[in-house]
Amino acid sequence: MILTKAQYDEIAQCLVSVPPTRQSLRKLKQRFPSQSQATLLSIFSQEYQKHIKRTHAKHHTSEAIESYYQRYLNGVGRNGAAPVLLDLANEVDYAPSLMARIILERFLQEHEETPPSKSVINSMLRDPSQIPDGVLANQVYQCIVNDCCYGPLVDCIKHAIGHEHEVLLRDLLLEKSLSFLDEDQLRAKGYDKTPDFILQVPVAVEGHIIHWIESKASFGDECSHHAYLHDQFWSYWNRLFGATWASREMEAACLVPLPDPMVCSRTAVRYLVSSKGKHKSTCHAGILSISGPDARGLLGPSPCL
């Protein structure tokens, strides 16, 4: 399933200032019925994260925190069963889970002698039953289950997707009889930074030589490409793993996941970068990610890279 730059832009455009809730996602699905939920969610999540990164600071000023907390207290004072915290988050355009964290932190500060440690907060967010105040516990829980971009549940889902795709990728490599070394084997050999898989015998895909594969299991927009490039891919390149990284068009334009004809008919997807109207491959040194049309139709036909 190819997602063109234009399609991607269209989706991203719809996601400006949309709260990260179930309802938003539902609307998005109605708007783009041809895209799978996984793809849409992944794009949504990434767009929303960008948005949060931009606005994060303004919600963490002490004035803002104080005002949120007061509004929360007033709200639950009026009606503890109402979705006070969730509404507050949506109103100020902040992620519900993160809002819950702000209020919880503030609450604990007020009710306990010492400022709460991060691990305590995290543990309470994972299991709101531990929150000493019942009303707050409910409010927090509501925020967490309704937030589709942040929170412990979403983190777990992302982690699970990552793991699943590594397994899928491994299956695929085995199925295609491609000999590889996985991360654990490489670590055992003493490598400090390794991609998910290094092919022991490189393969050519559409004329590009693939040496290593890193599964990212999230949608590969420019931003995430940049981030991964910086954090990981260059490191792999620096250790080279036998690759000749011939193209540096990474920075170029849009990312187009394409089903990969050679390595995997089923799920693998490569990124192509469209640069000034021409497609140039970005991933001479490796398939950056795989995912996508799953044969069993559970993930739907589109990639979730």
Of 2, 34, 248, 262, the one binding another protein by CB under 8 A:
248
Residue type, 116: P
Q: Which of residues 269-288 bind another protein (CB under 8 A)?
A: 280, 284
Task: By CB under 8 A, tell whether 197 contacts another protein.
Answer: no
Q: Which is nearer to another protein, 90 or 224 (CB)?
A: 90
Judge contact between 263 and 205, C-beta under 8 A: yes
When binding is defined by CB under 8 A, the residue of 2, 22, 123, 185 that contacts another protein is: 22
Residue selected from 141, 176, 275, 301 as contacting another protein according to rule CB under 8 A: 141
Shortest Å, Cβ 304 to another protein? 9
Q: Which stretch binds another protein (CB under 8 A): 48-56, 138-146, 173-181, 260-268?
A: 138-146
**CA dihedral (46, 51, 54, 57) positive or negative:** negative
Q: With CB under 8 A, what is the number of residues at the site for another protein?
A: 59
45 in contact with another protein (CB under 8 A): no
Of 224 and 282, nearer to another protein (C-beta) is 282
Residue placing its CB nearer to another protein in the complex, 161 or 288: 161
**What token pair was written down for 267?**
């799920």
Q: According to the binding rule CB under 8 A, does residue 190 interact with another protein?
A: yes
The only residue of 2, 9, 23, 123 in contact with another protein, by rule CB under 8 A: 23
| Residue span binding another protein (CB under 8 A) among the ranges 3-11, 45-53, 75-83, 263-271 | 75-83
Q: Which stretch binds another protein (CB under 8 A): 6-14, 103-111, 172-180, 242-250?
A: 242-250
Among residues 52 and 135, whose Cβ is nearest to another protein? 135
Residue with Cβ nearer another protein (10 or 171): 171
Instruction: Give 27 or 53: the residue with its C-beta nearer to another protein.
Output: 27
Q: What distance in Å separates the CA atoms of residue 257 and residue 35, rounded to the nearest whole number?
A: 13
Any contact of residue 127 with another protein (CB under 8 A)? yes
Q: SS3 sequence, the chain?
A: CCCCHHHHHHHHHHCCCCCCCHHHHHHHHHHCCCCCHHHHHHHHHHHHHHHHHHHHHHHHCHHHHHHHHHHHHHHHHHCCCCCHHHHHHHHHCCCHHHHHHHHHHHHHHHHCCCCCCHHHHHHHHHCHHHCCCHHHHHHHHHHHHHCCCCCHHHHHHHHHHHHHHHHHHHHHHHHCCCCEEEHHHHHHCCCCCCCCEEEEEEEEECCEEEEEECCCCCCCCHHHHHHHHHHHHHHHHHHCCCCCCCCCHHHCCEEEEEECCCCCCCCEEEEEEEECCEEEECCCCEECCECCCCCCCCCCCCCCC
The residues binding another protein (CB under 8 A) are: 22-23, 41, 79-81, 83, 86, 127-129, 131, 133-135, 137-138, 141-142, 145-146, 152-153, 156-161, 163-164, 167-168, 171, 189-193, 207, 234-235, 237-242, 244-249, 280, 284, 296, 298-299
